[in-house]
Structure 1
Amino acid sequence: LVLYASQTGNAMDAAERVGREAERGGCPAVDVLSMDSFDPSCLPGERSVVFVVSTTGQGDPPDSMKGFWRYLLKKDLGARWLEGLRFAVFGLGDSGYQKYNLPAKKIDRRLLQLGAEIIIEIGLGDDQHPSGYEGALDPWLLSLWESLNKANPSLLPRITDIINPNLNYLGDSKIEVIYYSCNDAPPDSVVSDSKKLIERARLMSPALKFHSDGEPQYMLKMVTNQRLTKEDYEKDVRHFELEDPSSAISYQVGDALEILPSQNPSAVNAFIERCNLDPDSYITIRAKGGDEVSNGSLLNGSMGRIKLSTFVALTMDVASGSPRRYFFEIMSHFATAEHEKERLQYFASPEGRDDLYQYNQKESRTVLEVSYVLTGDFLYVFLAIQKISVCKLYHLYDNRPLSLEFFSWLNSEIWFCATFRYWRIFPRCTCLLNGWCN
């Protein structure tokens, strides 16, 4: 069992890698779940668990870990509650902060207090490392597999496939993508209403359930969008007014308004057209052969027909987040040009890890940028979707809500100010990034 707590998707990506390598090594049963998708009372029934925990804020745990952590702190859990459980913890953090990897260190100590047995010492991924957190993850995983194999050789009968991976091998497809052209789309291919789309987008967040089930959600109408600074001023500061016709909003002093962000439609369409597909077409994605898909995925059986541009906008960060290392590994299986295939395989290998981190994350290259660097027909990007769960291929759309302080005259109105900024990471960076804050 692999349990992760992720805020922006890094811990989820690392956890998925743990699961993939375990499957590659022949582990008979591997489950990768977000902590908020697992009942902590069932923990004593597990034999071996790997925890992957990120850090947010000033040493705070991710939202998806909070409920799990509260349960572990219950006073009625004795010192032998987890007797028989073996565990390992890997943390993701930044040594530039005082409370470096604190959530991972806390859960490591607490599991020991509850009687669990450690498999290997805690691993600490550091964003300050030249290769990012993967600089610590690579050797930590090798130690993990060797320790597990030493204790129980039958657990990983193909451990050599982990230590010496074959980058030419790609596992079986878990999902099926059905593509409808604009002319072939059935008459009932109607996109869900806005509220349903937002609910679906929230379910794709790494923190699936951190909000209580009864948390209010509102569809608000924007009635004012006024620029407060001069047109020639470098900062674009705006005053917004939102209106709720139902007057159902209730709040207290200190509450914050969270707004779900969206992607630039032109970037979404550019990516789809780079794949030689039509943004106005429809797709259906479903699990293959009745297989169950992880609760951390957007799929639950079949998700029904959805417009391709809507699907990409809600699930793939194509124009701001950098693609994961696994992106390059998967792309290598579908690249048609031999030199591109070799380069992609190099980036996916331990030897190319540092170069990939410099080329990709450090320079903040986006999926869209990488798609234009690769030559030939980029349709193989979309073909790769059919081989793995879509949200594992790309940088999962980081749809964390933007928290805003606000002012309100009446329950039906929300006022706030925000600053919009545009920048490039480097002067030669082709992608113009943008963001906003209040």
Structure 2
Amino acid sequence: MTLTAPFLPADAPFSPEQRAWLMGFLSGLGAHAAATDSAETSSGLTVDVLVGTQTGNAEYAGEDVAAAARAAGFGANLTALDDVSMERLAAMTTIVVVTSTYGEGEMPDNAELFWEALASETAPRLESARFAVLALGDSGYDGFCQAGKLIDTRLEQLGAERFEARVDCDVDYEDAAAEWTANVIARLVALAPDQAGSPASVAAPVGRARSPWNRKTPFGAELAVNRLLSSPTSAKEIRHLEFALAESGIEYAAGDALGVVPRNDPALVAALIEALGVDAGEATPHGELRDALVEAYEIRTPSKELIARLADDDPESELGQVVALGQKETLEAWLWGRDILDLLLGTRVRWPIGEFVELLRPLQHRAYSISSSPLASPDRIHLTVASVRFDGAHRRHGGVASTFLADRVGAGETAGVFVSPNTAFRVPADDAVPMIMVGPGTGVAPFRAFLQERAGRGARGRNWLFFGDQHRSSDYIYEEELETYRQDGVLDRLDLAFSRDQAEKVYVQSRMAESGADLFAWLEDGAHFYVCGDASRMAKDVDDALHAIVEVHGGLDHDGATEYVNTLKREKRYVRDVY
């Protein structure tokens, strides 16, 4: 492919024609994403695109920046943030950071070490560099785009010159990211007109191909299997689901996630319309109100704007009084178990539909770790999903996507899906390398895929799984499969932790500590260490246990153990898929 766009001029911003061309190029990159790490340049300027990503969105956006830079005739390197040493950073002259934010304002996993070094007193001065930052996040969280904001501020503190203002993107990031990328390229051409090549003579680099199926255009996959895994006596409802890929052309790898585009519960929609006291056929930007509330809007979790508006318009309501206290923890505790319908029923506020829907967030896909390998299941993608159901403040509540899959997608019916590649979460390329996997509950999902992958490849490397839940009798999901893998020698070690089968609770981190000497020996033998599951507690407890094991059995002090674990991260031998 040879690009035939009008030459990008030295004076920014773009003309309408030039901007339309670049925006079109960015939206249609597809298989032409710049995914290489080497800069092939016809000019003297090289753009270093540094990416921090948790789910792959920032990686895609970074690939687009690199591709656009190359299209303008510049060189481009695409590098994960944790792969950038401070020495290498100090040698860069044009830095573009694209990073997501994880959890409540935290750095994504592949940016933690970079940020630690950048924030330290020993970080190098960067007066010879210019930079721009694109931040991806979710405005539903207090730490919206915090990782990007921190890096943006710190680069400026170290003396680098910001050549394009930071943009903070919400979950619908694509258009904002494309416009920001166009502005970045225009600015670079303006700053270095003699170093830009003609796009007409620059071939777009070919990187990893992208599926035509994505969040905005999902594939309607038939739900071929919906089977209850947990026992009816379990406190949880965990289901095994299989989506038929048919003629979609969808490809996936063990370690990837599947995005599911849900639809809201029609019963909840009807109750919401009744509470609003309006006609279901009223017009919205997404069609008639009933259809829009099913397909387009988030109607479970209230937005911050909706909460604030309700409190302002009805300050005497219980919500208004709680908000007036100005205490974040008190408000969060009060909101737990309440959704938008609960809030409306608790206030006297009613707005025109146009105002109401403006306060709603768009309905987002949910991502689930794939629990199959294409070597074992090339035509179907398997998921392991816990159905979220709980008693709220006034009535029974259910998770948006999990109950959609469990209750409202019938046999032979379809749901919109797409694959989210997770290139950092993969079985070792070397089949002789050992693997240690920690995945309690539904966290076992990707490790079921990993074991299928290793079995399908005939891998010789040893495999060790830590799995657990509440009760063995009701919560040992995939028991037959895991026990068969152990008997067949695919699974060399299987350590189980069922927390409530004895007086003293036992968790996966407890089992790790009990086998600390062996675990450290596996690490010394080159093992990769994987964690999947709850980020707020389990993953932190497992990380603490890993540090303690390294300290005790490696004969290291606290700092030495920290450096050992950080080295595992740098070598991509300690990776997580947490949520």
- Shorter-chain TM-score: what band? 0.3 to 0.5
Larger radius of gyration: 2
Select the structure with the greater relative contact order (CA < 8 A; seq sep ≥ 6). Answer: 1
